[in-house]
Amino acid sequence: MSKLALEEQIQEAVTAEVFDYLKPYLQRMVREYILLDRNQAFESLSVSRAFFDKNIKNKPQVKLAERKFPESDKVFYEPTELKKAILSLTKF
């Protein structure tokens, strides 16, 4: 094996290891700090699209967590506000 091939193999291994190490942190950052669209919202809640649309999406608490860009009908949700809304709807 040549020196260049060995360096490339080591670089690939290091890159894969760093990605595996950082993946949970990156996923947490995305969940907490980036807006969710409707698909991500119902997936993050582990409910079906139909259940989300019928039982969650139109509740006033959830409507407060909605965000829309100007000139767009697409709805996004701020994750921490959506979490608070869902917690206010659930019974323990």
User: Are 67 and 78 spatial neighbours (Cβ–Cβ below 8 Å)?
Assistant: yes
- pLDDT above 70 (res 82): yes
pLDDT number for residue 46: 87
- pLDDT above 70 (res 7): yes
Q: At what angle do helices 79-89 and 3-33 cross, to 10 degrees?
A: 50
pTM: 0.59
Query: Is the pLDDT higher at 50 or at 72?
Result: 50
pLDDT number for residue 5: 85
pLDDT number for residue 60: 92
Kindly state the average pLDDT of the residues 19-34.
Answer: 80
Burial environment of residue 74 by CB neighbours within 10 A (0 to 12, 13 to 18, 19 or more): exposed
Percent of the residues in the chain that have a pLDDT greater than 70, as a whole number: 96
What sign has the CA pseudo-torsion 20, 22, 28, 32? negative
What is the rounded radius of gyration, in angstroms, for the C-alpha atoms of the chain? 20
* Distance, CA of 1 to CA of 46 (rounded, Å): 48
Q: Is 71 left (phi over 0), alpha (psi -120 to 50) or beta?
A: left
User: Given pLDDT bands bounded at 50, 70 and 90, which one contains residue 27?
Assistant: confident
